[in-house]
Structure 1
Amino acid sequence: MPARLFERAPVDVVTGLPGRSCFIHRLESHCQRRDPFVLMVLDLNHFQMINNAMNHRVGDQVLREVAVKLQGRLREQDFIARIGSDEFALLVPGIALPRQARIFGQHLLNALRRPLYLSSQRLYVGATLGIALWSGTVADGETLQQQAEMALFEAKQKKLPLALYDGRFTHCQNRRLLLRHELVEAIKNDGLSLHYQPIVDTVSGGITKLEALVRWRHSSLGPISPAEFVPMAEECGMVQALGDWVLKRACADLCRLQRAGYRLEMAVNRSSLEFQSLGLDGGEWLSVIEQHGLSARHIIFEITETLFMQGSEQHLARIQALRQAGCRIAIDDFGTGYSSLNYLRAFPIDLVKIDKSFIDHLPGNHRDALLLEGILRIIGELGMSVVIEGVESRAQAEYLAALPCDYLQGYLIARPLALRELLPFLESYAGHSVPAAD
């Protein structure tokens, strides 16, 4: 683009960078010249959370600071534009090898390692980078941009700082598109199933709780991991429908178990997205429980630490409404993400589920033992119960028996079981089980 036209090109009013239209023009120009270059698409991590927790003025300031930091790492011949809400595109000439691209990409990400000082606060803003190299065989700039976006998606899925486009990504994306479509059909047409993992009371040795876990067996691809299809449900706007299906089926199966004489509590996972759409009185979920003739005291809602990170008073109101109705709240996989004991102090939590990573090296690892024992002591002093997840060996169970933990869950006790498998399994525990607390 001639200098005069570039100067008149529309710019992003927030950052002062060139906008999407200018980027597309520059990208096509690079493709026509056939000289080696690389396209990088950079996306800020958790940017929406900054906007929600603070305000859009602070968000705009973050974008400006990020733009300045990135520009400080670029050469004169490099080009940067803002192409989305929290997305930047960079064209870097002269890079022809993957190793060069990785080094330059890491160089850009390093620019964001230092905190931003905004509104008297210190913010750490990370980013993820998708990279596509111009090979001379790519059809056009649009295709190259799709490749960079695929690489960005791959990096985010695998929680990597950056990823370079690989031809296999196209196959993976095609698979995802197919599965997304068929997942919608599975949710609508009862094509999923629930398995239940027993949770043992360490005092009585009996099973007093179950965790409902959703499963999907694809007609031609076989079992699809929840780690793959649950994020898909979030992406295609079906996570609420998925969560509602799980709650209804879990309640129906709990009714059947109660008729068979088992007085158990049922734990159901609900994601942050599902929680955000719940009414402040929790009515939608409570009505499902009531429709099945169940007491709310027999339902535990498991939520993740992500919900607490958002720090919303509305979330607190929803939690309080559910608890006042009799439901209990558990924080799931404690210790895997952005754990802070402050969450436990600030929110009314009944159970804390300790992730299996805390016991993987126990017994035998002194530092892990000290860490776990300290966490258990604090949680106990806060008046909350503890579930240890991922118990897989007798040695772990014997070690944990001497600690103040209330419940154990894991393959040592049982793998997740379909209802037809669960009933005979519970019968084998009949002599040891005790009624769940009302």
Structure 2
Amino acid sequence: MTLHAKEDAAFSPAADGTGLDNLATLIRDTARMTIGAKAVALVIEAEGAQDLGSLALTTEGALGQATYEFCIGSDRVMCRAPNSDTTRRSFRQTQVQAISTGTMMLSVPLARLGETGAGAIAFAFDQTGWQADQTIAACTNFALIAEALWLSHFAMAGLNLEVDSLTDRAARLLRIAEIDALTQLENSASFEDKARAMLASGAENAAFIMLDIDRFKLVNDLYGHQFGDAYLKTVAKAISAAFPKGSIVGRLGGDEFAVLTPLPPGGRAYLDGLLSRCRSGIQRATVLLGKPDVGHVSIGACQYPDHGRRYSTLYNNADAALYAAKDLGRSISTIFNPLQHDRYNDTEVGKQFLAAVQRDDITPYFQPIVDLYSGRCAGFEVLARWRDSSGRNLSPAEFSMIFRDHTLAEKMTRTIMHRAFGDYARHVTTKDRLRLALNVTFFDLMNPEFVFEVQTAVTENKFDWSLLTIEVTEQTMLGEQTGQIFRSLNELRARGAKVALDDFGTGYGGLRHLAHWPVDILKVDKFFIDGLASGSRDTAVLEALICMCQKLDYEVVAEGIETTEQIAALRDMGCQFGQGFVFDRPLAGEDLIERRNVYGIG
């Protein structure tokens, strides 16, 4: 029996269907409400079947076919079916794999089918929303639902159960599938469905609100995941209590929540009051957790219909307001203002970015890295710049939302990488042995094809691998969950590149992991360099940090040096390399030919 999904995701049964159409519909609805997968493949080999495919449920198209092939993968083994002379496939373990299209595949065995058969269910997800632990848990729970539905169907054939009983069971399962297991709020897919329904029902005025817990990852790292879960549940209850009856409250994922709530006509003042009530309610509720650095949230909101009528528009505008709140210092509420917040709108900025790439307005700049003992230029860090319509060069801090989208982030890296190698090849001779440090993102390293793309750029420009440094932030290292990031870094190191840990000291979790990370160079954040003027304690911390790096055999590069006094202090501590405005501002590619080879070091 083969069931196929049409483009509208409505499954249709084969002509000889015997109730599997109901089963397919239930599985479709439950999968969509639970996890929002891009494609689903379900394979069950019923006992006594002569070939694989007693039930093969998959989404049409290339992604559906890829998901099906991943589900039945070549590493599945054949085994003897119980009480039978036939053989069937054995689906024994959960598998996760990233593929080159920016998609994550996850396959979960159906382990509770007993003598009725054997099978597995596989899902395809966009890598942007991939959260390993949560997604695997959600898919495992869904596998239990699929097993229950199959067993119900199998039993129904023999017991002639009433259709109403199956419908009631399905309704209960669907409601379970709508709820976020941790917080008991609507999950992301259910929130979107109910919000769309509310907007389509003729609501006159409403507010779309997005909330993000400030520095939640820090709290999780400091106090552990068990406390983090308790924190999320406390915040969820406080949010629900803050909004009136008829509001839809959901957890979008991680530490992000959303609310759609009715407003009275001209309800801006009312909305301000709701947001204030929500923030104070969260602060009161989290006091009971007994930790000093919890209870702070950033909030972004927009109004329907003033700021949009479609769900996607309201979502983007509330998200832009939320991003503006974070940019303004966090722990505040911001209501969308198109004149101020369009630059935070992912969709709008994405369009502008792609146009800028076409116009060659995305360019690399080169900041010298200097030997603090000799004053010799040792290399350059490549920095991205975006030339706007007025001719001003924007720094990454002004277009940081680009790095929230995996497609745009990867395109930025590749654009800068190819142009930087080209500028270097034209204006720097190999005999100078000047290193080139490229900044890469989480999305780059999660893509298994990234190393090959760097290899291509290196080969095309006849660049020496031993002169290449890959810079990775501490937050990227802390976000490692699947092993792909470390695999990418180790492959790059195997080719001769070095790996630098950037902004060290800002991630709050690096010391306990540092010795195990694939790192060659530590870049000390400007925060520590600025502290040199603050007194002996700050100096002692920096000196201890440099000493630790020396014992771990790491090179040390100090960032943000602005005075000759800082150069002297760092040199006395044993720090060999540094960069900052005291030496030079970042240079355009064409200025490399007139660069200074030696800088004054006081």
With normalisation by structure 2, the TM-score equals 0.57
Matching residue of 1:347? 517
Note the C-alpha offset of 1:343.
3.1
Match of 1:225 in 2: 395
Give 5+ residue unaligned stretches, structure 2: 1-170, 219-225
**8 Å contact from structure 1 (residues 31, 140) kept in 2:** no
| Range moving further from structure 2, 412-421 or 330-339 | 330-339
Gaps of 5+ in 1: 1-6, 50-57, 117-123, 433-438
Between 1:306-315 and 1:204-213, the stretch displaced more is 306-315
Contact 1:115 1:125 in 2 (8 A): no
Change (3 A) 1:205 1:332: same
Q: 202-211 or 297-306: which moved more?
A: 202-211
Out of 99, 105, 129, the position equivalent to 2:278 is 105
Deviation of the 1:80 alpha carbon: 4.2
Partner of 1:436: none
User: Aligned pair in 2 of structure 1 residues 213, 382: CA closer, same or farther (>3 Å)?
Assistant: same
Over 3 Å counting, the alpha-carbon distance change for 1:307 and 1:166 in structure 2 is closer
User: Do 1:112 and 1:126's aligned partners in 2 also have CA atoms closer than 8 Å?
Assistant: no
- Give SS of 2:374's match: coil
1:294 lines up with 2:467 in the alignment: no
Return the offset for 1:151: 2.3
Equivalent position of 2:96 in the other structure: none
- The corresponding residue for 1:435 is none
How far 1:399 sits from its partner (Å)?
1.7
Q: How does 1:6-85 map to 2 (within 5 A)?
A: 11=175, 12-14=178-180, 17=185, 19-20=190-191, 21-23=193-195, 32=204, 40-43=209-212, 65=233, 69-70=237-238, 73-74=241-242, 77=245, 79-82=247-250, 84-85=252-253
Shift of 1:336: 2.5
Correspondent of 1:406 among 569, 572, 576: 576
Alignment CA distance shift 1:90-1:384 (3 Å): same
Report % sequence identity: 24
DSSP-derived class of the 2:596 partner: helix
Amino acid at match of 2:279: Q
Cα 1:90–1:45 change in 2 (3 A) is: farther
**Pairwise CA distance, 1:171:** 5.5
Structure number with larger C-alpha Rg: 2
Indicate the SS of the match to 1:89. Answer: strand
**Aligned residue in 2 for 1:303:** 472
Are 1:240 and 2:413 an aligned pair?
Answer: no
Change (3 A) 1:14 1:359: closer
Q: Which one-letter code corresponds to 2:179 in the other structure?
A: V
CA distance in 2, matches of 1:413, 1:202: 10
2:436 aligned residue? 266
Question: 1:90-169 residue pairs with structure 2 within 5 A?
Answer: 91=261, 96=269, 100-110=273-283, 111=285, 128-132=298-302, 148-158=318-328, 160-168=330-338
Question: What does residue 119 of structure 1 align with?
Answer: none
- Kindly state the Cα deviation for residue 125 of structure 1 after the two structures are TM-superposed: 10
Does structure 2 retain, via aligned residues, the 8 Å contact 1:359–1:396?
Answer: yes
CA contact (8 A) 2:372 2:578 kept: yes
Letter in 1 for 2:330: L
Of the candidates 321, 324, 336, which is equivalent to residue 491 of structure 2? 321
Separation in 1 of the partners of 2:403 and 2:335? Answer: 24
Letter in 2 for 1:81: V
Distance, in Å, in 2 between the alignment partners of 1:77 and 1:30 is 17
Instruction: Give 1:365-404 correspondences, 5 Å limit.
Output: 365-404=535-574
The aligned counterpart of 1:201 is: 371
Q: CA contact under 8 A between 2:442 and 2:476: conserved in structure 1?
A: yes
Displacement after TM superposition at 1:283 (Å): 2.7
Assess if the C-alpha contact under 8 Å between 2:470 and 2:500 holds in 1: yes
Tell me the distance in 1 between the aligned counterparts of 2:236 and 2:491. 45
Q: Distance in 2 between matches of 1:30 and 1:112?
A: 36
Label 1:345 to 1:64 Cα distance change in 2 as closer, same or farther (>3 A). Answer: closer
Distance 1:426-1:89 versus aligned 2 partners, 3 A rule:
same
Q: Partner letter of residue 13 of structure 1?
A: I
> CA 1:197 to 1:270, structure 2 compared with 1: closer, same or farther past 3 Å?
same
In structure 2, what is the Cα distance between the partners aligned to 1:40 and 1:430? 52
Greater Cα offset, 253-262 or 322-331 = 253-262
CA distance in 1, matches of 2:282, 2:352: 37
The equivalent position to 2:530 in structure 1, one of 346, 360, 369, is: 360
Distance 2:588 2:308 in 1: 49
The amino acid that maps onto 2:519 is I
Matched, 1:421 2:591: yes
Q: What is the identity, as a one-letter code, of the residue corresponding to 2:513?
A: Y
- Deviations, residues 332-386 of structure 1 (Å, cap 9, x unaligned): 1112334421232111211111111112142342221121112111111111011
What's the CA shift for 1:271?
Answer: 1.0
Question: 3-state DSSP class of the match of 1:383?
Answer: coil
* Cα distance change on mapping 1:139 and 1:413 into 2, 3 Å: closer
Q: Is the 8 A contact 1:129 1:152 kept in 2?
A: yes
**Paired amino acid for 1:350:** D
| In 2, Cα distance between equivalents of 1:140 and 1:180 | 21
CA distance in 2, matches of 1:293, 1:380: 32
- Specify the code of the residue in structure 2 equivalent to 1:306: Q
Paired residue type of 1:69: K
Q: CA deviation at 1:76?
A: 7.0
CA positional deviation for 1:101:
3.8
| Whole-Å separation in 1 of the counterparts to 2:428 and 2:314 | 57
Indicate if the aligned counterparts of 2:317 and 2:345 stay in contact, CA closer than 8 A: no
Q: What is the SS of the residue equivalent to 2:457? A: helix
One-letter amino acid of the structure 2 residue matched with residue 288 of structure 1: A
Counterpart of 2:250, as a letter, is: R
Alignment of 1:248-287 (within 5 A): 248-259=418-429, 261-279=431-449, 282-287=451-456
- Between 1:249-258 and 1:381-390, the stretch displaced more is 249-258
Partners of 1:255 and 1:97 lie apart in 2 by: 60
Displacement of 1:197 in angstroms is 0.9
CA shift, 1:106, in A, is 1.6
Amino acid at match of 1:308: M
CA RMSD of aligned residues (A): 4.2
In 2: Cα distance, 1:423 partner to 1:307 partner: 34
